[in-house]
Amino acid sequence: MKRCIFSILLSITLLMPACGSPILQTELGKEIILSPGQAVSIADEDLHVKFTGVIGDSRCPQGVYCVWAGEVICEVEITYAGATRQTKLTAPGLIEGYATAPFEGYELAFHVTPYPDVHQDRIASEEYRLHLVVTRPPQLTSVVGYILARPTDFSGKEVTIVGYYRGWDLLQEAAAPPPVTRSDWVIKDLSGAIYVSAASKAKMPEGLQPASLESIHKLLEVKGTVMVTASGQPYIEAISIKRLPGHGGDAD
């Protein structure tokens, strides 16, 4: 009888870690790898993310031609400001890097391993791992609209604009020709789009392609002086240009 009770207690003890996994800790901008059932707390943020598991995986295996790349769907449980909600994170197959999803001012960048392989057996649910990076993207400014509305009031003043890089006005948001050189490029904040002179002394971050749509979601912080052409068109003479993390890539 004592041996039976001891065996039962030992079994319960061995099962306890699986039933009550400790909450991991990480910081904004750092990757954490979660197994199904594991949770992570973000330091100095009222935010917890629990990886419930993968609920669908149709990703095209590596080395196989597929008409559709497929996707992997994860279910996570996010607790923020005292409220908990179930959320699905979906990443397409056959891509490199991270997929992203917004959440209450945060950005969740993620990918799922292992990736399906035609020569391997089907992935067991407990084998999946969620690679997660939580960031808080910078808030876009709303200053461009004021500059466009009252260019003479801003002429000669220094401003800071946080917005998306639009290259050579690839989305035709500036509604005007380049004011200084043919290589002038556009930045778009919440209130409007404005040209930045390509002749500015500020060094342009590497990796931005003014003719490529792949670059238009890169976030930039541009500090510069508002200039106005003889025809009344405002533009920015950049003093500094900084690439920011979130919604398009890591900061330089």
Residues 151 and 90 in one domain: no
Confidence of residue 246 (pLDDT cuts 50, 70, 90): low
In-domain check, residue 168: yes
Give the mean pLDDT of 56-63. Answer: 92
For residue 209, give both structure tokens: 């392609």
Task: With a cut of 60, say whether residue 2 has pLDDT above it.
Answer: no
Total domains in the chain come to 2
Give the mean pLDDT of 8-19. Answer: 41
Boundary of a domain, candidates 135, 165, 192: 135
Q: What phi and psi, each to the nearest 5 degrees, are found at residue 12?
A: -65, -40
Residue 22 neighbours by CB distance under 10 Å:
8
- What percentage of the chain has pLDDT greater than the value 70? 89
Tens of pLDDT, residues 85-139:
999 999 999 988 899 999 998 999 999 999 999 888 899 999 999 999 999 888 8
Sign (positive/negative) of CA torsion 127, 38, 94, 28?
Answer: negative
pLDDT at residue 22 in the model: 80
Task: With a cut of 70, say whether residue 17 has pLDDT above it.
Answer: no
CB 140 within 8 A of CB 166: no
Residues 209 and 98 in one domain: no
Domain that holds residue 100: 15-135
Task: With a cut of 70, say whether residue 42 has pLDDT above it.
Answer: yes
Tokens 């598991």 correspond to 53
pLDDT at residue 95 in the model: 86
Residues 48 and 151 in one domain: no
pLDDT at residue 121 in the model: 86
pTM, two decimal places: 0.61
In-domain check, residue 100: yes
Residues 90 and 108 in one domain: yes
In-domain check, residue 1: no
* Average pLDDT for the chain: 89
In-domain check, residue 10: no
